[in-house]
Chain A
Amino acid sequence: MAKLIGTDIASPDLLAKITGRAKYAEDFRVDGMVFAKLLLSPMPHARVRGIDAARALAMPGVLGILTADDVPQLEAPGEACLTNEPRYEGEPILALAAVDEETAAAAIELIRLDLEPLPFALDPLESLRPGGPDAWTEGNVLVEGEMKSLKWDGVDFSSVAQGQLPMGEVTTEWALGDVDAGFAQADVVVDETMVHQTQTHHPLEPRSTLAYWRNGKLFAHVSVQSTARMRASLAGALDLDIADVVVVAEYCGGGFGSKITGSPIMHVAPLFSKKIGRPVMLRITRYEETYVGRSRPGFQMRAKVGFRSDGRITAMDLFIVEDHGSYGGGGDNGTAGVLAHLMYQPENIRVRGVPVFTNTPPRAAQRGPGGVQMLTILEPLMDKAARELRMDRLELRRVNAPREGATFGPRETPLTSVHVHEAMDMGEKLFDWQEKKTWSGRRNGSKVTGVGIGVSPYTAGSVGYDGLLVIRPDGLVHIHQGVGNLGTHSVMDTARAAADVLNVGWDQVVIEWGDTSRGLPWSASQGGSQTTHAHTRANHAAGLDAKRKIQDIAARTLGGSPQSYDVAGGRVFQRGNPGRGMSFAQVAERAVALGGEYDGHTLPEDIHAMTIESATALVGQGLMGVAKDNFGRSGATYSWVVGFAVVEVDTETGHVEIKEYTGVADCGTVLHPRSLGAQILGGSIQGMGVAMSQRWVYDPKWGAALAKRLYSARPPSILDVPMDMTWAAVEIPDPDTPVGAKGIGEPPLGAGGAAIACAVADALGGRLVGRTPLTPDVILAELEGSKRPWRPLDVHVG
């Protein structure tokens, strides 16, 4: 059989998606279903002194309320699904259920809250000032698990007005070498302060939940990135036995890190359903999604980088104030520092960070967490140095980018493979960098051309999960997948690893996914670009296990040694004598008859408890392949995308048009080319949105969100990007994983964002604007030399 890996096959769920039959969480209906609505905090920080719901509860059709007193509360800084101390405007205080949403909404309006306003902080830097407000009554930073109030007493804040980040006590710090010594060897030093805005994830599907209980079991229809892991997360949060939780999540309308294993708000419907004894639908609106839907942490960052005249980086000193939001959940500053070290391999490095809590919605990983912020800040800074060094910008990156044998991070971790140089080489040709770089500064009327490069690494795979498949008497290979279906196609594509081992065609494969009652194996969470790597390995392992069992059965049945048998096209047959064999259907029946390990009666000892449970439920249904990924790995797995862009900046309007974009990936073996292209280009566009348009705006006096709508938050539209973009992959297999494939979800964002940020700076003659997003007002102010719309270190503006 031809291998499935590397070919374009439409995902088996595509027909459902294009006919409207695919059911997302809010598409389910259950008998007796009632509706819940949320009452959100009108204040950024307050204490609930009283809730008067008498009039609401008296309304016909109202079934009850659920308050913070009804839901598990967590130690600081943990986030419960409902709170008596809201820490951001829009935080859910209570939910109300009624027979319909209209009644619920009308009833909520009758509730009277008695709120005691508390001091609030929106800007991390303001919170660090002596006497500044703390987001929590307990403090503004987390030190060794304890909330603490950190103020930078004795630190001179006067530099803020000049746009330089003051630097005081931090909560995380690591260094390799001696940065002072490194700077002493530098011929060129750049030192910049930049602001990277916070942005809401805004997946297109809001995080609605339908929940009900049957015979003590919770059934939850959720919008979640990771199916199997959501079960554990929900069981943990609600203090349930995992066996009593059924998660149905066949489709997820995007998550981008905001729904990795669910979200606290998804606990409301299960708890409410339990309380009132009815199935509860909590339909989250876009307005609510803006608040409870997570966001990328912003940075106020100072970066000082020293270069020798040959371009080699001698020292890098990074200082990051991270906006930690109301409940933490980011921590991107740590990743940012590690990625900077990986990418530029500075001879000496120091990374300092302080995540500061603010009274703004919770942060979470957002596709390329830390990398995106760091790259849109550092890559233009590289270009600034290249100008001073009179070096080609691609060359400067080549001088510093890691090669085989490189290590990175505080523990000097090695890599399984690194082919960023090949990606740069390929991109140089595909994009024609040598020609296009001469377009820099070219004028066409009021428009100036800029070109830019963004190089972006990101972690791309984990190990140690389980694969599970059953070949049934229908002859089909049923591959069970516990990862989620959020559009990356890895839930389908990684199954090819098992199919290829068994040498079957795609039409002989059935994928079982999206519902934990179908028997799903323990799986990686669908985040951090893990699943392509983790589950090609797990499925390869399950495939090998099944193949071994098939060969055994053939040998037992037809004679000879197991090794003398091969598999292809749904048959097992003797090598050199293809007529002597059995169909998979026959093998499956034989496996059931034999029992033991063949049909799952006995299971490997090293697989996870969830896999055991699932496999046990599938016992006796056919030949079972089940195995843990025990393939070795000698380092960390990272993928790369190199982005190249051409932009035109209109000097009279500040408008930026992205004219061209090329993205080239180093992600090992390609599983599904067309889907890879979609990841590279789609991810790059998301990065462009981060760099160019997406915003997050707060009124400083009232602590209230202003950019609450999609049109005011501005994710990129189809008219904001080139109508034709190109992509490629170097396709060098990673040697540390059997299939050779590495993940790709994260790295395109940094590449797209940085390439555009660099191209805009290039069009501006190398000037750095010092913040994202690079909107027309910011650019025009820079060009006009007029007053900038924002003070340099201002956050949540736009």
Chain B
Amino acid sequence: MATIRDMIPAFGLFQPTSVEDALELVNDHGRKAWVLAGGLDSMDWFKDRIKRPEVVIDLGAIDELRGVRETGGALDIGALTTLTALERHDAVQKLFPMLAEAARHVATPQIRNQGTLGGNLSQDTRCWYYRSGWPCYRAGGNTCYASAPQAMNREHCILGASRCVAVNPSDTAPALIALDAKMVIRDRRRTRTVDAEDYFVGPAIDITRMTVLKANDLLTSVHVPSAWAGAQTYYEKVRDRGSWDFSLVTVAGAFWASGGRIEQARIVVNGVAAYPVRLHEVERAVIGAAVGEETARAAGDLAVQGAKPLRHNEYKVALMRNLVRRAVRSVA
């Protein structure tokens, strides 16, 4: 079949107005259906004519999936809440400014006006071989073009490779993991909650998916517990261009400190693996340590132990190390 791009193949469209209806639809259509949130990542796949769902289920008309609700210092954020709404929400800014900052770092104003938190968290990887429609492992084939000896893999992973070397592009994911958020997932029969950290899957677990969502699941909301409200946080996204771009490496850290010592820490890095990487060992090392440069340096060095750069992305090791240092250095 000859390849052509830029015309969306036909599909049937459903616009349910309740979660129940949406769940019925995803259940009925299973893998033939495509769930549309803001639609930006989806639209790319459709226009490339690589993903050709029979039906598209647009969640945009489900009001109950939108909005931010504050309860006792905790937040429940509907999965369809736009990134703009998230970024501007008073309670988000007051309780979890890092989350607002992360949302602000996504792409462009237009994308944030349409793109949703759920979509940002659940988007597919941007590996340019995979996105070009090449039949790689992730696409159901039997090779990885990006890790071939001559391949161009400047933006690929340095950790967690398992046949596939793609990275997770989400800007909000590391912030939510650092804030110990919970993802609320529903299917027709039940509602389950998973730790944000466990929402994302690497290729070793499932090479064709980025998250734990199954075909008949919907991510309906994100719960941010009050535990980290008011904590010291650090968020930094390094990218090539000041607008639109995906991150090369992003760090998100949340800390409690007093008396010059770090008491609690959660540190997450994205752009380095197919999933946002929580740095458990680094957290253990810095908890109880004195704030300052020495701890920061040690944290950065520890963070990149075991990193396995590809031919063109050794810089990511230094970048990740330096960003982790900065995050820990920021603690006062």
Residue B10 at the chain A interface, CB threshold 8 Å: yes
B5, B241, B312 interface centre (most CB from chain A within 10 Å): B241
Is the pair B2, A112 in contact by a Cβ cutoff of 8 Å? yes
Interface size class of B (residues with CB under 8 A): 35 or more
Chain B positions within 8 Å of A634 at CB level: none
Residue B62 at the chain A interface, CB threshold 8 Å: no
User: In the complex, which residue of chain A has the Cβ closest to the Cβ of B312?
Assistant: A789
Residue A74 at the chain B interface, CB threshold 8 Å: no
Q: Say which residue of B4, B150, B325, B326 sits within 8 Å of A37 (CB atoms).
A: B4
| Of B174-182, B243-251, B279-287, the one touching chain A | B243-251
Is the pair A699, B314 in contact by a Cβ cutoff of 8 Å? no
Residue A601 at the chain B interface, CB threshold 8 Å: no
Chain B positions within 8 Å of A112 at CB level: 2
Residue A39 at the chain B interface, CB threshold 8 Å: yes
Residues A780 and B318 in contact in the complex (CB < 8 Å), given A653-B238, A720-B242: yes
Is the pair B242, A789 in contact by a Cβ cutoff of 8 Å? no
Chain A positions within 8 Å of B315 at CB level: 654, 776-778, 780-781, 784, 786, 789
Is the pair A106, B2 in contact by a Cβ cutoff of 8 Å? no
The CA of A340 and the CA of B238, in the complex, are separated in Å by 36
The CA of A109 and the CA of B49, in the complex, are separated in Å by 10
| Of A3-11, A144-152, A710-718, the one touching chain B | A710-718
Is the pair A711, B150 in contact by a Cβ cutoff of 8 Å? no
Residue A631 at the chain B interface, CB threshold 8 Å: no
Is the pair A108, B241 in contact by a Cβ cutoff of 8 Å? no
Residue A111 at the chain B interface, CB threshold 8 Å: yes
The CA of A704 and the CA of B129, in the complex, are separated in Å by 10
Is the pair A655, B4 in contact by a Cβ cutoff of 8 Å? no
B50 CB, nearest partner CB in chain A, Å: 12
A-B contacts at CB below 8 angstroms, number: 130
Residue B9 at the chain A interface, CB threshold 8 Å: yes
Residues A706 and B7 in contact in the complex (CB < 8 Å), given A653-B322, A714-B241: no
The CA of A697 and the CA of B132, in the complex, are separated in Å by 13
Encoded as 1 (CB less than 8 Å from any B CB) or 0, chain A from 99 to 121 comes to: 00110111011111100000000
Chain A positions within 8 Å of B7 at CB level: 37, 101-102, 104-106
Residues A789 and B154 in contact in the complex (CB < 8 Å), given A108-B4, A706-B132, A711-B244: yes
Is the pair A113, B2 in contact by a Cβ cutoff of 8 Å? yes
Chain A positions within 8 Å of B152 at CB level: 697-699, 706, 797-798
Residue A429 at the chain B interface, CB threshold 8 Å: no
Is the pair B241, A720 in contact by a Cβ cutoff of 8 Å? yes
Is the pair B312, A776 in contact by a Cβ cutoff of 8 Å? no
Residue B313 at the chain A interface, CB threshold 8 Å: yes
Residue A285 at the chain B interface, CB threshold 8 Å: yes
Is the pair B318, A776 in contact by a Cβ cutoff of 8 Å? no
Is the pair A797, B312 in contact by a Cβ cutoff of 8 Å? yes
Q: Say which residue of B3, B240, B243, B244 sits within 8 Å of A776 (CB atoms).
A: B240
Encoded as 1 (CB less than 8 Å from any A CB) or 0, chain B from 238 to 271 comes to: 1011111110100000000000000000000000
Is the pair A776, B241 in contact by a Cβ cutoff of 8 Å? no
Residues A285 and B241 in contact in the complex (CB < 8 Å), given A654-B319, A699-B150, A712-B128: no
User: In the complex, which residue of chain A has the Cβ closest to the Cβ of B7?
Assistant: A105
Interface residues of B in 32-55 (CB under 8 A from A): 49
Residues A716 and B241 in contact in the complex (CB < 8 Å), given A42-B3, A653-B319, A780-B315: yes
Chain A positions within 8 Å of B154 at CB level: 777, 789, 797-798
A789 CB, nearest partner CB in chain B, Å: 5
Is the pair A790, B132 in contact by a Cβ cutoff of 8 Å? no
Is the pair B151, A701 in contact by a Cβ cutoff of 8 Å? yes
Chain A positions within 8 Å of B148 at CB level: 701
Chain A positions within 8 Å of B244 at CB level: 710-711, 717
User: In the complex, which residue of chain A has the Cβ closest to the Cβ of B244?
Assistant: A711
Chain A positions within 8 Å of B3 at CB level: 40, 42, 109
User: In the complex, which residue of chain B has the Cβ closest to the Cβ of A711?
Assistant: B244
User: In the complex, which residue of chain A has the Cβ closest to the Cβ of B151?
Assistant: A699
Is the pair A39, B2 in contact by a Cβ cutoff of 8 Å? yes
Chain B positions within 8 Å of A105 at CB level: 4, 6-7, 49
Interface residues of B in 195-238 (CB under 8 A from A): 238
B288 CB, nearest partner CB in chain A, Å: 25
Is the pair B314, A781 in contact by a Cβ cutoff of 8 Å? yes
Interface residues of A in 184-220 (CB under 8 A from B): none
B123 CB, nearest partner CB in chain A, Å: 14
User: In the complex, which residue of chain A has the Cβ closest to the Cβ of B236?
Assistant: A653
Residue A174 at the chain B interface, CB threshold 8 Å: no
Residue B75 at the chain A interface, CB threshold 8 Å: no
Residue A28 at the chain B interface, CB threshold 8 Å: no
User: In the complex, which residue of chain B has the Cβ closest to the Cβ of A38?
Assistant: B4
A368 CB, nearest partner CB in chain B, Å: 21
Chain B positions within 8 Å of A789 at CB level: 154, 312-315
Residues A706 and B129 in contact in the complex (CB < 8 Å), given A42-B3, A693-B241, A775-B240: yes
Chain A positions within 8 Å of B243 at CB level: 717-720
User: In the complex, which residue of chain B has the Cβ closest to the Cβ of A781?
Assistant: B315
Chain A positions within 8 Å of B312 at CB level: 777, 789-790, 797
Is the pair A652, B325 in contact by a Cβ cutoff of 8 Å? yes
The CA of A113 and the CA of B4, in the complex, are separated in Å by 13
Residue A624 at the chain B interface, CB threshold 8 Å: no
Chain A positions within 8 Å of B10 at CB level: 102
Chain A positions within 8 Å of B316 at CB level: 777
Known A102-B10, A777-B315, A790-B312; further 10 A-B contacts with Cβ < 8 A: A104-B7, A109-B1, A285-B6, A697-B128, A699-B150, A714-B240, A717-B243, A776-B315, A786-B314, A789-B154
Q: Interface residues, chain A, CB within 8 Å of chain B?
A: 37-40, 42, 101-102, 104-106, 108-113, 285-288, 652-655, 693, 697-702, 704, 706-708, 710-712, 714, 716-720, 775-778, 780-781, 784, 786-787, 789-790, 797-798
Could you list some 18 contacts between A and B, CB below 8 A?
A37-B7, A102-B7, A105-B6, A105-B49, A106-B9, A108-B4, A653-B238, A699-B129, A699-B145, A701-B148, A702-B145, A704-B132, A707-B128, A714-B240, A716-B241, A720-B243, A777-B312, A786-B314
Q: What 9 A-B pairs come out closest when comparing CB atoms?
A: A719-B242, A717-B243, A105-B7, A652-B322, A777-B315, A285-B6, A700-B150, A108-B4, A784-B318
Q: Interface residues, chain B, CB within 8 Å of chain A?
A: 1-7, 9-10, 49, 128-129, 132, 145, 148, 150-152, 154, 238, 240-246, 248, 312-319, 322-323, 325-326
